[in-house]
Amino acid sequence: MTIDVVPLTPTIGAEVRGVDLAGPLDEPVMKEIEQALYRHLVLFFRDQDITPVQQVDFARWFGPFEYHPFAKPHPDHDEMTVLDQTTPEHDGANSWHSDSSFMENPAWGSVLRAVQLPPLGGDTCWANMYAAYDALSDRMKQLLDGATALHDILVPLQKAVTYGHSAVASVEETRAKWPAARHPVVRTHPQTGRKLLYVNNNFTTRICELAEDESRVVLGFLLDHIKRPDFQVRFTWSPNAVVLWDNRCTQHYAVPDYSGHRRVMHRVTLEGERPR
């Protein structure tokens, strides 16, 4: 099988054609997809009429699954979470973030499939955190290299519970089970060896080595910096579209422009390693 990888921007994102994720896919094809992911960071597959089992099987090739502590699981597949949204402005995905950075071992990446879409809207944007780091001045890189930051579950968890997107019984018990994690502000990707910026709006609360007021200013700058359009790709979903992304070197943002309409997505997330 020959697959066609078509870049969508010079910085991030490519559409993969000529592959049927219903599988089974042989190892050379999967390795080709994996290498394309490391080059383009997020891959888009159109017209993939696959079952939840087939989505899980495709994701399994990349590693063990992450079982999210407060997202709602699929009723028949524990490895899969269901994102069922009609009020996206309250759901927490409408800010730039890296999934589960509050964990000691944040997510490797995810496979997301469109199940039901609004008539218009509901796009998702991804941003390249290699590019975000590379665009910093040398003096700012010197300040950040070796610094660490706290990533906390509390605010996103409270929002998920308030708007019915979490099955947890107690915010306090979940918070106690998942205390704030401390990660490098600049991490190194374990496969590519490249440095990338690793702070995000949903979970990062402060830079540990700076005074509180200094942290507020520097972190605020970084969270604005990652929003630059030249770091981004924007994807308009279509029925049965599937996206695979590397969560370690990207952030994403779900555009909340379909309030009152339903958007249902199935997500399988893969377990990552401790950031270094």
**Among 151, 206, 248, 267, which one carries the catalytic annotation?**
267
For residue 252, indicate whether it is catalytic.
Answer: yes
For residue 99, indicate whether it is catalytic.
Answer: yes
**Among 97, 183, 189, 248, which one carries the catalytic annotation?**
97
**Among 40, 151, 248, 252, which one carries the catalytic annotation?**
252
Angstrom distance (rounded) from CA 85 to CA 72: 12
For residue 68, indicate whether it is catalytic.
Answer: no
**Among 91, 99, 152, 246, which one carries the catalytic annotation?**
99
Which amino acid type is present at position 121?
G
For residue 90, indicate whether it is catalytic.
Answer: no
Q: Catalytic residue numbers?
A: 97, 99, 252, 267
